[in-house]
Amino acid sequence: MRLENKVALITGGGSGIGRASATLFAREGARIALSDMNRDSAEETAEAVRTAGSEATVVTGDVTDGADAERMVQAAVEAFGGLHVLVNSAGVSGRNALPSGASPEDLWDKVLDVNLKGTYLVSWFAVPEMEKAGGGSIINLSSIMGLVGYPAGFDSGFSPYNPSKGGVVQFTRNLAVASSAKNVRVNCICPGFVDTNLTAMLKEDDEVYRFLEERHPMGRFGRPEEIANAALYLASDESSFVTGTPLAVDGGYTAQ
């Protein structure tokens, strides 16, 4: 097992990439602490973790709140005795962050808060615990939109999503350099468009969905399990010489 005797905290663990990562990590021997705003969803993932043969604990909270972020980390430590892996999977897009009609300023603040500040805060509390445990791995969820812009004509140019995910890439690099002496590796995954709750709205318009599928040379959206496989590599000792890296898992999107 690639994560035997490891403890992993996964934010946004109630659905999508977070859920896929939790169940995969469980099959590889990790004990899982799940954080999500929606307790029912997190409990469903916890049950899947247990079915996979591992242990799970659930903590609800808001990654943008420092006290909640600290509580998430401490929940993992108190339940399982330490922390070795953090997957910062909690995230929103401009499409679902706030109700329709929200002001540009409120939308900007919300998306940057969840995607960038949330990643920062949970990591802030995780690093010292990983150092106590002898080292660890932080996997941040960025996006290909942290590396490139939206296709011409798809967006107004004022989307807060791209800057938030670009910030995650730079935060990853900076924290990786600073944390290397603590035996803590920090990397991020930059997925292409993936079939999750965040992209469900895009499928409501067949023309838009086909347009985006065609932007990927492989001709399709990714699956959460495919991103989880990359997270497993970064969480495991197989990536022991990998830190500060944005890993594109995007069906060739950014190769164009």
| Domains detected in the chain | 7-255 (3.40.50.720)
- DSSP secondary-structure letter at 79? H
Q: In angstroms, rounded to a whole number, what is the distance separating the alpha carbons of residues 183 and 194?
A: 31
Q: Work out the mean pLDDT of the chain and round it to a whole number.
A: 96
Catalytic residue among 150, 161, 209, 233: 161
- Summarised one tens digit per residue, pLDDT across range 1-48 is 999 999 999 999 999 999 999 999 999 999 999 999 999 999 999 999
Element (H, E) at 34: strand 31-36
Q: How many other C-beta atoms lie within 10 A of the C-beta of residue 150?
A: 16
Q: Is residue 161 among the annotated active site residues?
A: yes
**Residues 17, 246 contacting (CB under 8 angstroms):** no
The reported pLDDT for the residue numbered 222 is 98
- Encoded tokens for 184: 């803590």
Q: In angstroms, rounded to a whole number, what is the distance separating the alpha carbons of residues 172 and 105?
A: 25
Query: In 52-179, where does DSSP find H-type helix?
Result: 66-80, 104-112, 118-132, 161-179
Q: In angstroms, rounded to a whole number, what is the distance separating the alpha carbons of residues 14 and 193?
A: 19
- Summarised one tens digit per residue, pLDDT across range 125-171 is 999 999 999 999 999 999 999 999 999 888 889 999 999 999 999 99
Q: In angstroms, rounded to a whole number, what is the distance separating the alpha carbons of residues 134 and 177?
A: 17
